[in-house]
Amino acid sequence: METTLRGVGVSHGVAIGEVRHMGTAVLEPPAKQIPAQEAGREQGRARQAVDAVAADLMARGNLAGGEAQAVLEAQAMMAQDPELMADVDRRIAVGSTAERAVYDAFAAYRELLANAGEYLAGRVADLDDVRNRIVARLLGVPMPGVPDSDHPYVLVARDLAPADTALLDPSLVLGFVTEEGGPTSHSAILARALGVPAVVALPGAVELAEGTVVAVDGSTGEVFVHPSEEKKTRLTAEAAERRAALAASTGPGATADGHKVPLLANVGGPADVPAAVAAGAEGVGLFRTEFLFLDDSENAPSEEKQLAAYRQVLEAFPEGRVVVRVLDAGADKPLAFLTPADEPNPALGVRGLRTLLDHPDVLRTQLTALAKAAEGLPVHLEVMAPMVADRADARAFADACRAAGLRAKFGAMVEIPSAALRARSILREVEFLSLGTNDLAQYTFAADRQVGAVSRLQDPWQPALLDLVALSAEAARAEGKSCGVCGEAASDPLLACVLTGLGVTSLSMGAASLPYVRATLAKFTLAQCERAAAAARAADSAEEARSAAQAVLSGE
């Protein structure tokens, strides 16, 4: 009998196929003692396994490229953490086997992360994956991961580690469903980059029996178990209609009555550029520069290395707009040479611009490299600071840009509620705003973006979040400046219309979402978008806001 389950749709499209589950996690190794004379050998085994897993993660990252590469390189750094390895060596020295020492050391570190505030608790799944890979190698058993199959399937898991998601084969993995995660989790972001339909935060997902036929709608978040032939036909037809509409939609972003809404791409590095160009991006709305700093956790990249990477992206968009976010280190992106290791709550501590202002040489080098990379190019370079809290922050960043000789617009990201509430004050120091809706939601609702249990509060349709977007857009309009959205909210085609109605002047998203947003915007006038935005803000919940906007745009 057909049943319907509802989670959070995070990547557009429809997938129909049989359920296949992720490989099971590694079993806990036995706690047996070894003679003292074997300690050296066991320590060597542990080091070899750790290095092999780190190398594998780096290799997967190089293959995947882009955002996936940054995530996997961070996991490789996690595997080789000096303090973790010192703990492993200590445990082996008092009699543990290599596999047991790794298991126990990671368990202790896991507890520290779990108790370090919700932001870092979201890294626990990544840590568990690293541990499982190391222990599996030491035990000589198959790695946990994506199942082997000759036939396409729908992948179901409690959660997906970045190492698995990054290398999913879209020809075999039709879509995936997870019980945990949220709309802005790493797996969700990577799913959108891959163009794989995905639903996360689905209660009871892992209880779906192997081989069960399901239909996954990554737009609505619905998963139909044992779908009828009629349902399959309808979903397939709707998917075909959407693909046809996407193919017919080309050119710059605009509403039906010609109101221009530039559609830009979020990129994590040069590897993401070809997909953005192919999708018709009008530029880059968020160039994340962290990928350059993850190669070496002990040292910042040289000016020359940064210059070469920046120029590669800038050259891809002649006459286009490229918005670069300076290094956003801290919280879930710690760097040994920059961020303190003993902060009680890193998400609320020294991160983003705060870190850079504490290390002005790192900021100066990055800004100088950007200035040199743009020399002689017709590109419209804009540079923005992450985690701006107030006018003083904005002024400090603007002063640093001028001191570095940067001939570009400089702006501020709105990721903290105070920045939205005082947006007009901040705009007296900078030339544009860019809304990072992922972190803005996280800080507005005290709801970690990686924790599935609070995913409803991470929903970008929350009316309180729309109110903060509206405040920022109104401030920018009053100052005669621009206000874009570069968070994941922009990748929702319906929400893109609402954001346009709120006064947002540009939208930036993963390349795979650009055709969907372009086609949807072209169906409605600016006035319709404004009415939909007003209806959404008048609602009391995210679900009601979406329904209200949908009703307006469908003419109900």
Where in the sequence numbering do the catalytic residues fall?
186, 486
- Scored b (16 or more CB within 10 A) or e, 180-211 reads bbbbbbbbbbbbbbbbbbbbbbbeebbebeee
* 505 within 8 A of 471, measured Cβ to Cβ: no
Give the list of residues 6+ apart from residue 361 with CB closer than 8 angstroms, or none.
Answer: none
Report residue 491 as tokens.
């990748």
For tokens 């929702």, what's the residue? 492
Cβ pair 381, 324 in contact under 8 A: yes
Checking phi first, is residue 117 left (phi over 0); if not, alpha (psi -120 to 50) or beta?
Answer: left
Cα 556 from Cα 553, distance rounded (Å):
8
How would you label 466-502 residue by residue, b for 16+ Cβ within 10 Å and e otherwise?
A: bebbbbbbebbeebebbbbbbbbbbbbbbbbbbbbbb
- What distance in Å separates the CA atoms of residue 242 and residue 195, rounded to the nearest whole number? 14
Report the SS3 class of residue 298: coil
Cα separation, 149 vs 18, in Å, equals 11
Select from 208, 55, 68, 72 the least CA-distant residue to 129: 72
HSE (side-chain half, CA atoms, 13 Å) at 150:
0
Nearest alpha-carbon partner for 290 in 352, 350, 347:
352
- What's 261's DSSP letter? -
CB 236 within 8 A of CB 16: yes
Nearest-angstrom CA–CA distance, 481 and 37: 70
Helix axes 98-114, 39-64, angle to 10 degrees: 60
CA distance 332 to 327: 13
The answer to whether the Cα torsion of 281, 483, 487, 291 is positive or negative is positive
Distance in angstroms (rounded) separating the CA atoms of residues 167 and 164:
6
Mode of pairing for the β-strands spanning 409-414 and 432-435: parallel
Q: Amino acid letter at 48?
A: Q
Cβ atoms of 521 and 497 closer than 8 Å? yes
E strand or H helix at 483, and its extent? strand 482-485
